[in-house]
Structure 1
């Protein structure tokens, strides 16, 4: 995860060098690079998961780690933009191994410890996106390709650890044959059709996920363009995002959400997101972006509350099916969101734009989130839904 975080602050500079273009032009390529990564990850996640059920977790994890290292080397020594796309496609295939890592944790955990151990994955993401961007921003001062080499070194060290120390977690008697029908990425989405009563809440969640890509996909380009930030400043800002998300998701959410209750947590959180997006759009100085991160990250109380309400409408023996469908939806929004938000940024910062407005992605995000609020309010008011608190794992959103 640190390796992923390391490359984020310097990717716009490397794209710009390869295409010989501006930050505005680089953002378009950046969005499609994220599209290539997310699309391949969506397709291959169930494939690698099924392969790990047949051959074991260890070989799939080792191959994936080695592939990630190769990807970073592709990016470090890419002579043209085409090679960046090849590298990102490789990363998407190998990044699908996160499902295998989850399966590994399930294998080695007792039922009562499973949820706690799954939380380690969220903690790893949080720490990785605090440390990684800061390291990447600092290393980026020595050249746009240096962070990619550092990421490759870390990944190969991780691979070596796995090769020498990591044991297999899946017993041979628990393995099954590979089945293409069960490796269908669309199948998990179809499961959501079984729950029409929560359709409005699911659409609300989809809009929130798409809106979040105004920050996830456009932040680096926006801050470099509008405030002339270098890689180090971008790295520091993303580290701050990771820290605030970790504080909210790891601590405050367990205090705020029980006091507000699920419904008010959804409303307050979504409105805080709207406020944060609007403030980002009209920020005039770089320091404001750090200040405006506070209301934006506090909006993170909405996602888990919304997921908890959705979860409460489904029987216990269908929770896995529901969560699989929601995870697939998140993957789909990661395919749609990046080119949408970076494309909008490029259009409104381009020479032919009717009006120059770099904050356009954030205004769109605010509008999408406002619609998300309306849908959530209508759904919660029009259906006799169970709203009582039910534990939901915090989701790292930033």
Structure 2
């Protein structure tokens, strides 16, 4: 399965875990301050919502382009060099953003970050290399827990550093990424055996070509649709949460950082401790559906929450969302061969990146309109037709969260249908008589 010796396997998985933590800590550090830094440049909370959405879309757009390239490069040259180069690139990029004199330089930094953070595709491919199919949901849960652990530490550190100055978190992020590079240079072994590598091809490495893989497997197409909807819904947080929390509850960087740390703790527990036993008891499909149902309930409640305490309470059902992604990825990896895992992860990341381009722009616009009074033509039409009560929904600050919940609900329906078909197809393949 892997060229990693058994005695070094635990060290390899440990490195992937640590690298994921460090990478997400570095990203999480800047979350409490980046929207406020943008607001300092543009001078308006409503306008900052739009600009922050554009920045997230730039980041995701570069991931859409770069992820299949990086995934295919790792299929040919191995996972180790790709992961190390990405860590080094992130460190340099955070220095650039720390020094950014205006909005344009900050935008350039987000573009570069989108390329270098595409190494996540390789991290998931690495785990697919070293774990058997039946253990991948748990393995991806561990990676998800590492990401969540990073979000526990990152926003807390960023929130406190943000009290010092809006640039300080960027310098700390650069240090974290540099540590990940140095640590990996000494610890990380290669996971992909030479005989299992696939020659790089631009036909497969371009975003459209990479997603052809999804079209070759009917079940993957539907599961990729669930991936798109899940990421589309989730980007409501990256697009508007910090501004929403400030506008509605008066929370600053410290409060936002602490709340994001709580989200990370819940998600880490869910993906690191809960997903394994639940998947064993219910299977991948039912566990995924449980996660999507909890996420729908929680995010709807967040949009409604009349106070900060209600918002915090809504995080509890929302934490079940952490069950969805590792089980979804496990279902997808079972549909392709070992030599295609890097390409699959690149194609999956491209799908997520399309959502990452569209969703922040959409939710940023929805938030800006709902708090900035930009729905006047619609408001006038509703008043004229005796539907003024709808206006209170349209102008609700939580409107973006309501829409996100509806997207997750649809993802649950699609996931149930598609995953059921995938399981039936896998069962038929296993039960099929051998070819004479």
Q: TM-score, normalised by structure 1?
A: 0.82
Deviation at 1:272, TM superposition (A): 2.2
Deviation at 1:360, TM superposition (A): 1.3
Quote the RMSD (CA, aligned, Å).
Answer: 3.6
The C-alpha deviation readout for 1:47-88, integer Å capped at 9, x for no partner, is 334445666666544443332122212222211110111111
Which stretch of structure 1 is more off in the superposition, 141-150 or 324-333? 324-333
2:409 pairs with 1:386: no
Distance 1:56 1:213, change over 3 A: closer
Which stretch of structure 1 is more off in the superposition, 297-306 or 138-147? 297-306
2:402 pairs with 1:363: yes
Deviation at 1:305, TM superposition (A): 4.7
Q: Corresponding residue for 2:154?
A: 132
Of 356, 372, 375, 2:414 maps to 375
Deviation at 1:325, TM superposition (A): 3.9
Distance 1:309 1:94, change over 3 A: closer
Aligned residue for 2:96, secondary structure, equals helix
Q: Corresponding residue for 1:395?
A: none
2:205 pairs with 1:183: yes
2:292 pairs with 1:254: no
Q: Determine if contact 1:23/1:224 at 8 Å carries over to the other structure.
A: no
Number of residue equivalences? 384
Report the Cα distance in structure 2 between the residues aligned to 1:385 and 1:54, rounded to whole angstroms: 30
2:65 pairs with 1:43: yes
Report the Cα distance in structure 2 between the residues aligned to 1:15 and 1:97, rounded to whole angstroms: 26
Distance 1:212 1:181, change over 3 A: same
Q: Corresponding residue for 2:243?
A: 221
The C-alpha deviation readout for 1:230-276, integer Å capped at 9, x for no partner, is 00111111111111111112222233344455555444433322221
Distance 1:106 1:376, change over 3 A: closer
Q: Determine if contact 1:5/1:128 at 8 Å carries over to the other structure.
A: yes
Q: Corresponding residue for 2:308?
A: 286
Report the Cα distance in structure 2 between the residues aligned to 1:322 and 1:54, rounded to whole angstroms: 14
Q: Corresponding residue for 2:163?
A: 141
Mapping 1:276-315, distance limit 5 Å: 276-306=298-328, 314=335
Q: Determine if contact 2:79/2:126 at 8 Å carries over to the other structure.
A: yes
Aligned residue for 1:352, secondary structure, equals coil
Of 286, 289, 293, 1:271 maps to 293
Aligned residue for 2:33, secondary structure, equals helix
Report the Cα distance in structure 2 between the residues aligned to 1:56 and 1:317, rounded to whole angstroms: 13
Report the Cα distance in structure 2 between the residues aligned to 1:301 and 1:168, rounded to whole angstroms: 29
Which structure dedicates a bigger proportion of its chain to helix? 2
Aligned residue for 2:361, secondary structure, equals helix
Distance 1:342 1:139, change over 3 A: same
Q: Determine if contact 2:224/2:351 at 8 Å carries over to the other structure.
A: no
Aligned residue for 2:424, secondary structure, equals coil
Which stretch of structure 1 is more off in the superposition, 80-89 or 273-282? 273-282
Distance 1:380 1:249, change over 3 A: closer
Q: Determine if contact 2:235/2:359 at 8 Å carries over to the other structure.
A: yes
Aligned residue for 1:386, secondary structure, equals helix
Aligned residue for 2:229, secondary structure, equals helix
Q: Determine if contact 1:12/1:220 at 8 Å carries over to the other structure.
A: yes
Q: Determine if contact 1:348/1:360 at 8 Å carries over to the other structure.
A: yes
The C-alpha deviation readout for 1:163-216, integer Å capped at 9, x for no partner, is 6x3577489977886543342222221122233356555434432221122234
Q: Determine if contact 1:106/1:114 at 8 Å carries over to the other structure.
A: no
Q: Determine if contact 1:68/1:91 at 8 Å carries over to the other structure.
A: yes
Deviation at 1:89, TM superposition (A): 1.1
Q: Corresponding residue for 1:396?
A: none
The C-alpha deviation readout for 1:9-60, integer Å capped at 9, x for no partner, is 11111111112x2222112111111111111122122333444566666654
